[in-house]
Structure 1
Amino acid sequence: MVELKGDERLDYLLAEDLRIIQSPSVFSFSLDAVLLSRFVNVPIQKGKIVDLCSGNGVVPLLLSTRTKAAITGVEIQMRLYDMAQRSMDHNGLTSRIEMIHGDIKDMPEQIGYSKYDVVTCNPPYFPTPSIEEINKNEHFAIARHEIMCNLEDVMRVSSQLLRQGGKAAFVHRPGRLMDILRFMRMYRIEPKRLQFVYPKSAKEANTILIEGIKDGNPDLKILPPLVVYNDENEYNPEIKRILYGEE
């Protein structure tokens, strides 16, 4: 039986038949994390994967259904790390997924340079907020804003962790695309696959998924768009399949 603390609940990850601990007082996972876990190319059998800014561990959990590689998740907030660790215990995945409570900027020194086949990250999207915003809910502020790490930190650390030819995948906002491309190239992660995600077909894209290869050759492919909702405000078939395993 899983131990739940305070206002925590146990939610289903429906398509994967897994459970995850969540709480309304800290940042819950969103569709962004689910899309990232499906977008990234991972080795099916052996390999080493690290997920930065793991939150409550949703990306490592989802990746565990696609690969038998060893997975490491890194989360700086103790509350979220603790929730992630208990979720791994509940799903019987502690032998395959290691959660680390720490700062991503310390990880190359702590877990090794150039040792990983894949790095994933769903980083904070927004510039540092005001003190008032931080004080309202520190957990939400750290998850959403570049307080503990910024975009350049994420790209530098990802490059340091990756072996040559390893892949890094990120989910972010379209407004940061030029910064993302600049920092990826600055830190030798050549952008190779880019997909725009639209809330509806007639709306502007509000999410991007991007993958690069460390020291790869220039050749960026723009994938077909992913549209979340149809005109009846229901999930489109591809999103249903991703979330619920439905065709």
Structure 2
Amino acid sequence: MKQTNSEERLDYLPGKKRYIFQRRDIFSFSIDAVLLAGFAKVPGDKGKIIDLCAGNGAVPLQMSLRTKAKIDAVEIQEVLAGLASKSINHNGLDDQINIINKNLLDLENEVSWDSYDLVTCNPPYFKVTSEKGKNDNKMVSYARHEVAATLEDIINISSRLVKQTGRLAMVHRPERMAEIFSVMQKYSLEPKRVQFVYPKSDREANMVLVEAVRGGKSGLRTLPPIIVYGAGNTYTKEFKELYEKW
């Protein structure tokens, strides 16, 4: 870890092939972002990818290790978009990854609809209620709760962005799976692959990776589970290999 100033720090992403700028007062990248980057089926080098709710850029940075395809990364928060831009520049990826500092609902003049091979998204997991979604830290609220866009907004926009037979890859919470599948099908995205992530083998899943294909035929594959921690709260061998394979 390299210290840059009182707020920012420069870290490695897993595999130590990409650097990422982060801040102490904002969520750092986490397991879900790294797993999503590995789960997504990236297109060939001439394809196009767009990452929604990009945060400080962990997903596009990791995907850039697997493809030379152009990647747009959409992030509403100026601070996070700035960190992502610094990371992209530091890794020499300015020609591949482009940051769009906009709400994903305001992309009309920023993107070409129906043109992307892959949409990825690590969205806010929680709905805004009278009790939840109003964290004193606005940046944390936007990262955790559907303040700027709902799950349906995200899936609708993803369907508009991706070309026919293109893919949407998303990480979310298992308790919202029924809603995710229903809304995907509403917008012509057919769920095709699902993979559950468990903190431990005797615990319930706390993450789910989902892939859908626009205009795809019905038929859902359930991939082998990912179990993060084994005895002694250390990474399982399988997870460690997956997490650090970059």
Normalised to the residue count of structure 1, the TM-score between the two structures is 0.94
2:72 is matched with: 72
CA distance in 2 between partners of 1:96 and 1:198 (Å): 33
2:218 is matched with: 218
Aligned residues: CA RMSD: 1.8
1:9–1:187 distance in 2 versus 1, CA, 3 Å? same
CA distance in 2 between partners of 1:49 and 1:174 (Å): 25
3-state secondary structure, aligned to 2:118: strand
Are the equivalent residues in 2 in contact too, given 1:108–1:160 (CA < 8 A)? no
1:81 is matched with: 81
2:209 is matched with: 209
CA distance in 2 between partners of 1:13 and 1:143 (Å): 19
Normalised to the residue count of structure 2, the TM-score between the two structures is 0.95
3-state secondary structure, aligned to 1:232: helix
Are the equivalent residues in 1 in contact too, given 2:133–2:145 (CA < 8 A)? no
3-state secondary structure, aligned to 2:27: coil
Q: Does 1:28 align with 2:19?
A: no
1:233 is matched with: 233
Between 1:154-163 and 1:16-25, the stretch displaced more is: 16-25
Q: Does 1:57 align with 2:61?
A: no
Give 1:131 shift: 7.9
Show CA shifts across 1:154-205 (max 9, x none).
1000000000000000000001001100110001110000011100111001
Between 1:78-87 and 1:124-133, the stretch displaced more is: 124-133
CA distance in 1 between partners of 2:11 and 2:103 (Å): 27
4+ runs deviating over 6 angstroms: none
Give 1:233 shift: 1.2
3-state secondary structure, aligned to 1:171: strand
One-letter amino acid of the counterpart of residue 86, structure 2: R
3-state secondary structure, aligned to 2:232: coil
Matched positions, count: 245
1:198 is matched with: 198
Give 1:143 shift: 0.2
2:157 is matched with: 157
1:8 is matched with: 8
3-state secondary structure, aligned to 2:194: strand
Identical-pair percentage: 47
Segments of structure 1 that go 5 or more residues without pairing to the other structure are none
Give 1:18 shift: 1.0
CA distance in 1 between partners of 2:103 and 2:133 (Å): 22
2:40 is matched with: 40
Give 1:109 shift: 4.6
Are the equivalent residues in 2 in contact too, given 1:198–1:207 (CA < 8 A)? yes
Show CA shifts across 1:86-116 (max 9, x none).
0001000011000110011122552011010
Are the equivalent residues in 1 in contact too, given 2:133–2:144 (CA < 8 A)? no
